[in-house]
Structure 1
Amino acid sequence: MPTAVFSHPDCAGHLTGPGHPERPERTSALLSAIESALPAMCGRVKEFEGRHATEEELALVHPEAHIERIRSKAVRAAESNSIVFIDPDTAVAPGSWDAARAAAGTVLAAVDAVASDSVANAFCVVRPPGHHATADRAMGFCLFNNVALAVRHAQRKGLDRALIVDWDVHHGNGTEAIFYEDPSVFYLSLHQAPHYPGTGSRQHRGHGAGTGTNLNLPLPPGLPAGRYVGELLTGIDAALSAFRPDIIFISAGFDAAYGDPLSGFTLTPDDFYRLTEYLKGVAEGGCDGHLVSTLEGGYNLEGLRDCGLAHLRGLAGLPDLEPTRG
C-alpha cells in the first residue's frame, strides 16, 4: 500500500498579511517539492485531496461558541475585505473559515484512509496548523485543533487509544489541555524552553484519570541535534512502556529544524527521517501500521521543504537521501 499525501486547495485561502510567518507559501512550497519528487518515489507515495470538516465533526472537540466565533470572524473579514486578528499572532481572512475546515477535514479523511487500510500511512500537508488551539480558544496561528479532532474521529472508528508525538519546536498547549484528563490519549511533546507559549513543564503529567499520559520534554536551544533526537526517542519508548496505542499521530512541526526563524533547535532532514522511520516501525509493530502525520509549524521554506520530504520518505520506507549521522 502507498503512503498518502493529503492536502486541500482551500488551505491556501487562509491569508495572514505581509510578513506573517504562517503564510500560504508554506504548503505550496512543500507540495511543489513533493510533486517534483514523486517520479523518483517508485509508486510508494500517492496524493489525495481531502475535504471540509462538518460542524458536527468540529464539535467533537470545539464548543459551538468557538466554532461560531471563527465563522463570524471570517464573515467580518469578508465584509470589510480585510484580515481580522484574534490576537497579535492569529489572523482570520475571508477564506479562513473554509481553510480551517479544509485543514481539519483533510486530516479526518486521512484517518479514514488509514483506518480502512486503503493506505499504509498518511502525511497531511495542511494549514492553518492546530496544536495551539484549545477547545475554546484560537491562538498561536491555530484556529481548530486538527490533531485533536483526528483523535476523536479515530476513536469513533474503534481506534480507541491514541499516541500523539509532537515534535514542533513550540509546546502544543492546546492538544495537552484537551487531553490532559483523558486516559485514552497519550500526549508526548519535545519542545524548546523557554519559548512560546510558555507551557510544557516536565511536572505536567496529566490529571485525574489521565495522570501519567502526558510527557513533556522541554530543552534549551542550541544543543547538538543528536541530543534532541535522543531525548525524543527515549520519550517515545517511555510512552510505549506505559501505553499501548491503536493509532499514532505526529504533530509534525518542522520549525525544530536548523535555521528556522522561530526556533533555536538544530535538527536536520536526516534527523526527521530517523524519527519518522522509528515511529513507522513502532506503528507497524504495535498498531497495524496506523500512523497519521499532520503539518504544524515550519517557517523557513527551504527547511520545511527538505525536512518535509525526508519525513515523507521515512513514512514511505524509502531510503534516506542524504544521511549525515555516524
Structure 2
Amino acid sequence: MRVLLGANGALGHDLLGHPETRGRVEAIERAISRAGLPFTTLCQDRVADRVAGVSLPQEIARVHNPGFVSGMSKLCEELKADGRVANLDRDTYATGSSYEDLLRSVAVASEIVDEVIGSGDPSLSGFALVRPPGHHAVPRSPMGFCIFNTVSLAVERARENGIKRVAIVDFDVHHGNGTQDIFLRDKDVLYLSTHQEGIFPGTGRVEEIGLGEAKGTTINVPLPSGSGDQAVKMAWESIVEKAIRRFKPDMIFVSAGYDAHWKDPQAGCSFQSSTFHWLTRELKELALDLCKGRIVFVLEGGYDLDALGDCVVESLRALNGSPSNPLLDSDALFDDEPEQMRKVEEAVAEAYEGISRYL
C-alpha cells in the first residue's frame, strides 16, 4: 500500500490564540517524521502552477458563489496592505495571506485527486494535509473556522475526471453542514456523517436525508457525548458500511476530522487514536472492494496538537498497511463509555429507523 501526501500548512493564515492555527499541520508533520512512515510527496511544482493559473478561482466558483470568491480575494488584498486580521464571523478569521493559502489548499487536494485517479493503482491512497478546514463552509459564506469547502471542491475535481458516483464519509466530531448543503439535492453524492449530537453547528439530525431525487443520499448518525470506540464501530456496522455498499461509489472521500479524540478541547467524545486506525482501515478496504481503491482524505478538525499528530499517523499507518501503534493510547481512560452504550444503542437505532428504507 502507498500513500500520496500533500500538505499546505497555510502559514500566513494564522491568528495567535485561535484554535485553528498553523501549528496544527506542523504538529502532524512532526508526528509523521517521528513515526518514520513511508509516503510519496505530492509535486509542489504542479500545485504552484495551479495556483498561478487563472482557472482555480473559477473552479472554486463551481461550489461557492462567485461574488463570495472574488470578495475574499479583494478582502485579503486589503488586509495584506493594512497588516490587519478580519473576523469573518465569531469563529472564523482572515489574514492578508488567507486567500492565497486557500488557493494552495484547494490545489493540493485537487492534484491529489488527479494523481489517485490517474495512477490506476488500487494500492495508492491520498491524504491532503491542508487547512483551514472546510466542511462548515456553505456556498455563500464562511463558517466555523472554514472558508472554502475543500472536500466538496475535491469531489468536483473527481467528477471532472470522469468519476460519476462519490461517497463522502465525515468522521469529524462536528457535523459538516456545508458539505451536506452543497450536495443535498445531488443523487450521485452520498454524504455520511457521524458526529456528536447537540453541539456546533446544530445540524446533522437523523431526519436530514436529502431532497428530491437525492432522498436517502444524506445520512446522519448523531452520537451522544462520551461516545468512543464502541460507539463508532456500532454506527459503522449498523449503518455506514451498509449505506456505502448499497450506493456503490466510484470513489470515496473522507472529511478527516480528529476532534472526536478524548483529549480534544472542542467537544466531548472519547475516540482513541487507534479508533482512527480502525476507521481508516475499514474505509480503505471498502474502497478496494467497491471503487478500485480510490480514496482521498482531506483534513478537517483536530485541536489538541499531540492527539492530532498521533491520530493522523494512525490513519496513515492504516492506509499503508501498517498496524496500529498500541502505545499511543496507553495513558487513556475510557471508563465512561460503557455507561453511554445504552444511549448509543438508542441513537444508532433511531438513525437506522430514519434511513433504513434507503439501506
The structural deviation recorded for 1:198 is 0.5
Q: What is the rounded CA distance, in whole Å, between the counterparts of 2:228 and 2:160 in structure 1?
A: 41
1:57 corresponds to which residue?
Answer: 59
SS state at 2:222 partner: strand
User: Where does 1:40-189 land on structure 2 (aligned, <5 Å)?
Assistant: 41=37, 43=38, 45-50=39-44, 51=47, 52=50, 54-117=56-119, 120-189=124-193
2:25 aligned residue: 27
- Give unmatched runs, 5+ long, in structure 1: none
Separation of aligned partners in 1, 2:86 and 2:78: 8
Q: Kindly state the Cα deviation for residue 47 of structure 1 after the two structures are TM-superposed.
A: 2.0
For 1:233 and 1:137, how far apart are their aligned partners in 2?
Answer: 35
Q: Does the CA contact (< 8 Å) of 2:113 and 2:157 recur in 1?
A: yes
- Whether the 8 Å CA contact 1:298–1:304 is kept in 2: the answer is yes
Q: Distance in 2 between matches of 1:320 and 1:241?
A: 25
Q: Which amino acid aligns with 1:151?
A: V
**Residue in structure 1 matching 2:262, options 258, 271, 275:** 258
8 A Cα contact 2:245 2:290, kept in partner? no
Q: Which residue of structure 1 aligns with residue 231 of structure 2?
A: 227
- Conserved in 2, the CA contact under 8 Å of 1:7 and 1:49? no
Q: Is the 8 A contact 2:2 2:319 kept in 1?
A: no
Q: How many equivalent pairs are there?
A: 319
Report deviation, 1:4: 1.0
Q: 1:284 aligns with which of 259, 284, 288?
A: 288
Distance in 2, matches of 1:233 and 1:134, equals 30
Give the TM-score normalised by the residue count of structure 2. Answer: 0.85
What's the C-alpha RMSD, in Å, of the aligned pairs?
1.7
Distance 2:110 2:73 in 1: 20
Hey, what's the Cα distance between the residues in 1 that align with 2:225 and 2:93?
27
SS at match of 2:326: coil
C-alpha displacement of 1:223 = 2.9
Gaps of 5+ in 2: 331-359
- Aligned position for 1:4: 4
The sequence identity of aligned pairs, in percent, is 36
Q: Distance in 1 between matches of 2:119 and 2:223?
A: 37
Q: Distance in 2 between matches of 1:232 and 1:136?
A: 32
Q: Which residue of 2 aligns with 1:196?
A: 200
One-letter code of the match for 1:25? G
Q: Is the CA contact 2:5–2:129 (under 8 Å) kept in the aligned structure 1?
A: yes
Per-residue CA deviations over 1:37-68 (Å, capped at 9, x if unaligned) read: 23xx3x4x222255255112212211211101
1:321 aligns with 2:325: yes
d(CA) in 2 for partners of 1:92 and 1:267?
A: 31
Equivalents in 1 of 2:234, 2:67: separation in Å? 42
Give the secondary structure class of the aligned counterpart of 1:159.
coil
Q: Secondary structure at the match of 2:84?
A: coil
> CA separation in 2, counterparts of 1:48 and 1:307?
21
The structure 1 residue matched to 2:273, chosen from 261, 265, 269, is 269
Superposed displacement of residue 238, structure 1: 2.7
- Report deviation, 1:224: 4.0
DSSP 3-state at the match of 2:11:
helix
CA distance change for structure 1 residues 108 and 116 in 2, over 3 Å: closer, same or farther? same
Q: Please say if residues 147 and 251 of structure 1, whose CA atoms lie closer than 8 Å, have aligned partners that are also in contact.
A: yes
Q: CA deviation at 1:118?
A: 6.6
1:76/1:84 contact within 8 Å kept:
no
Q: Which amino acid aligns with 2:282?
A: Y
- Stretch moving more, 90-99 or 241-250: 241-250
Q: Quick one: which amino acid aligns to residue 11 of structure 2?
A: A
Q: Which runs of 4+ in 1 moved over 6 A?
A: none
For the residues of structure 2 that align with 1:233 and 1:91, how far apart are their CA atoms? 38
Distance 2:118 2:251 in 1: 12
